Structure 1
């Protein structure tokens, strides 16, 4: 499905809009009529944006709050993240972001915060497996063919990165480490420009979430090489795993979540967590997100903290193994 279709589904998922939120009387001291800002540090149209707007809409519905989704882009997500870090820990400024938030300080010089020390985890909301795609202009279609060709003529191959610190960035580093390939990495400001150049043949490979890449296969300009899951995914059963292509254990996903400034009351964090768990169990939401190759996540705050800590540990070890220097 193209971006227009994705946005249509997203709009349906949050039908009713923020301005039409029911006037439900909230319980307790939060909210008190002050608007809740959901900061999305990425442009409109991406999964972060869809999930952030869904959060804002549900806050309005369930809490009787005025909730506004606000895109604050720039700096590979750092601009919007800093806006939340600098906000009061009162529940009126939330961050709807992704994997990048957890690893940003590992890859960006300007990111001086510690995500575990300076942010409160409220919930993980969804996840999406990564997939490697290649330019349809290349004759090689399978992973073994691509690795062999790239080893023979590495200067003929560039690999795109949609954003510094993205799950695809880390997956690309691991791919190059595992294969021993020395390919130029070309960094973009988002998946769409990277995908555009891939289809045009300016770059030859890209690893990013399925929902962003698989819909582009229809016209033959993009070839799906492998999915970074242990078994073939029901979301794309025709795409072999990277393990089938010769990289056993190569598993990566992008995931999405909600954070707040450190010190935000536990009661508020718990309310947001319960609200998002309820949302991600809604059959209508599940169906619509699944169609977009997004898998809803329902877990406690503690489970989210443990998962994110494990992701930070994994990323730290990977970056250290290749002597990666923040950019």
Structure 2
């Protein structure tokens, strides 16, 4: 081989050596680098459970080193901001809930657009909302409660577990649909709201089923209806709101996985496939049911359409009550 051909061969070989890592870097996710699953809420809640499940499955199924990390503060904004600012390489993911989609409608400091500044990877689970009343009142059914609240509205009010929550929006729609004019009392979380309702200090609460259903059984609360299109396997004895007398009234809290804007469709698609596979496993269905959650298996496009509809409805309901971000 002459000198010219030797140089050309060396040049081609060098180009090949450079090209291989470039292809490898793009197609080998996950490879070597740990994946952070950011959970913007404290440990212990459903959102935390699902975030840790994602990290576990990334490790088990993809051979990755995945670590769940609680980054709390700012009503979810601190952890969400960490993901918004992360590189779109699949090594930082957000495991959050309904709140992420409506955050800019609720928090003044949330200046991002959840549909433009984050990539949807999957919805993972949902929890239909239920309407409950205090056991301190003699009214025990939806029809009885509605009649009593219409007759004496000052003796009935709604607890709101947190502003901008799914329960808050569902309460606004409930009042609009029924024509009731009841006061809303805001709390810092479901537990204090539920405790006050049990004691009769507030009379009504709409919140996710996993928060309310475990509290029934001792007569301190009455579960009047579930805001779902059909009865849930989580509580077959609870009528739908349509059965109770409010057709079309459907609300749920839900959970999902997002990635920074610009994360490749391939990576998002692999996460989606992984979570769909996970949520179809009989053992996982049983585990979710035990935590009063319903698994969700849907494509990224289906998730995007659902989330867009949730954002639209939330904006319309908050506008009805002239809600201003705080």
Structure 1 length-normalised TM: 0.86
Aligned to 1:113, the other structure's residue is in SS state coil
**What's the counterpart of residue 247 of structure 1?**
246
**What's the counterpart of residue 191 of structure 2?**
192
Shift of 1:164: 2.4
Root mean square deviation of aligned Cα: 1.9
Question: How many angstroms apart in 2 are the aligned matches of 1:86 and 1:150?
Answer: 48
Q: Once the two structures are superposed, what CA deviation does each residue of 1:122-145 show, in whole Å capped at 9, x if it has no partner?
A: 001111211011111122212222
1:282 aligns with 2:281: yes
Q: Once the two structures are superposed, what CA deviation does each residue of 1:144-185 show, in whole Å capped at 9, x if it has no partner?
A: 222232233333323122222221111111011112222222
Question: How many angstroms apart in 1 are the aligned matches of 2:76 and 2:259?
Answer: 15
**What's the counterpart of residue 222 of structure 1?**
221
Shift of 1:27: 10
Change (3 A) 1:108 1:181: farther
Contiguous gaps of at least 5 residues in structure 2 = 1-24
**What's the counterpart of residue 29 of structure 1?**
28
1:297 aligns with 2:324: no
Aligned to 1:229, the other structure's residue is in SS state coil
Q: Once the two structures are superposed, what CA deviation does each residue of 1:189-218 show, in whole Å capped at 9, x if it has no partner?
A: 322222222222222211111122111102
Change (3 A) 1:290 1:149: same
Question: How many angstroms apart in 2 are the aligned matches of 1:97 and 1:230?
Answer: 24
Question: How many angstroms apart in 2 are the aligned matches of 1:180 and 1:322?
Answer: 14
Change (3 A) 1:27 1:82: closer
Question: How many angstroms apart in 1 are the aligned matches of 2:89 and 2:264?
Answer: 7
Q: Once the two structures are superposed, what CA deviation does each residue of 1:87-138 show, in whole Å capped at 9, x if it has no partner?
A: 2222121111111111121222222111001110000111121101111112
Question: How many angstroms apart in 2 are the aligned matches of 1:84 and 1:202?
Answer: 40
Shift of 1:58: 0.5
**What's the counterpart of residue 53 of structure 1?**
52
1:138 aligns with 2:137: yes
Contiguous gaps of at least 5 residues in structure 1 = 1-25
Structure 2 length-normalised TM: 0.87
Question: How many angstroms apart in 1 are the aligned matches of 2:199 and 2:65?
Answer: 44
Aligned to 2:42, the other structure's residue is in SS state coil
Of residues 194-203 and 170-179 in structure 1, the stretch that sits farther from structure 2 once superposed is 194-203
Question: How many angstroms apart in 2 are the aligned matches of 1:302 and 1:158?
Answer: 39
Of residues 242-251 and 221-230 in structure 1, the stretch that sits farther from structure 2 once superposed is 242-251
1:164 aligns with 2:163: yes
Aligned to 1:185, the other structure's residue is in SS state strand
Shift of 1:273: 0.9
